[in-house]
Amino acid sequence: MTRAAIRVEPITGALGAVISDVDLSADLSDETVAAIRHAWLEHLVVFFHDQDLPPARFLAFARRFGEVIEYPFVKGLDAHPEIIPVLKLPNEQINFGGVWHSDTTYLTVPPMASMLVAREVPPAGGDTLFANMYLAYETLSRGMQKLLEGLVAINSSANADASRTREDRMKDSARTDARQEYVAAHPAVRTHPETGKKALYVNVAHTVGFEGMTREESAPILQYLFHHQVRPEFTCRFRWRPGSVAFWDNRCAQHNAINDYQGHRRLMHRITLAGDPPR
């Protein structure tokens, strides 16, 4: 297949690229979708600017890459329940997702990917950080790699650092069918089903311990990994403007929404794409 002519500009050596010369609201050709997916797999997260994507068109774009699924805790838009608003109001102090994490690793089948489109952004601040979990794994010592390859990580939705970031939205838009807690066990190192590469698959927001160990025994290993996996040289930083889109691979990248815009409103729309059980 001939690859479509899109412009892909990496933004750091670790991960992230801006894609231009494409209108995501259009009916994209198979070649363009394939080119975007190729760039996404290579760079882990891709960004687009100045996109006019009302909810229906945003959903249409997302469905070219996978099955859209709903978020377990917060209700979506009335007309489009698969799209959840990621909102922080001027009076609120905590932002949604303001901690390093991979999305919903407390589910038995975590999502493949997530997409965000910016609707309203503060005059400054509100950037999002991303980190490369391939690099996080590859730069560990061989001894640590060997230890982790035999470990299964326990992930919980009730971990305090993560649950507090959704408290404001749970007050006004909680799903009535949400469980009190979701818990799932996944390999501490997962193999990406498309690239075949290994990625570190623990995160400070959701991983609470290792199977077969107490939390006290797990804690020193996890604390080391939580600091190691977000070293600056593994990361990139994205500045939003209205109409910006981010599309990241939840299987090999983490993200962290920076909470540095107190007194301002920020609204994003998020779509989640179905994944596969980590192996």
DSSP 105: T
CB atoms within 10 A of CB 245: 22
How far is it, in rounded angstroms, from Cα 103 to Cα 90? 25
**Burial class of residue 36 (count of CB atoms within 10 Å of its CB; 0-12, 13-18, 19+):** buried
Domain range annotation of the chain: 7-273
Helices (H), the chain: 30-43, 55-63, 133-138, 142-148, 160-163, 167-173, 215-228
What's the Cα-to-Cα distance from 107 to each of 97, 121, 233, rounded to whole Å? 16, 30, 29
Indicate which residues carry an active-site annotation: 101, 103, 255, 270
Q: Which CATH class is domain 7-273?
A: alpha beta
Provide the token pair at 28: 């994209």
Residues 214, 114: contact at Cβ < 8 Å?
A: no
Q: What pTM does this model have?
A: 0.93
Residue carrying structure tokens 């509100």? 126
The amino acid at 205 = A
Provide the token pair at 55: 């909810």
- The per-residue pLDDT string of the chain (279 residues; one tens digit each, 9 = 90 and over) reads 445 789 999 999 999 999 999 999 999 999 999 999 999 999 999 999 999 999 999 999 999 999 999 988 788 999 999 999 999 999 999 998 899 999 999 999 999 999 999 999 999 999 999 999 999 999 999 999 999 999 999 999 987 666 666 665 556 666 667 677 999 999 999 999 999 999 999 999 999 999 999 999 999 999 999 999 999 999 999 999 999 999 999 999 999 999 999 999 999 999 999 999 999
Dmax over Cα atoms in the chain, in whole Å? Answer: 54
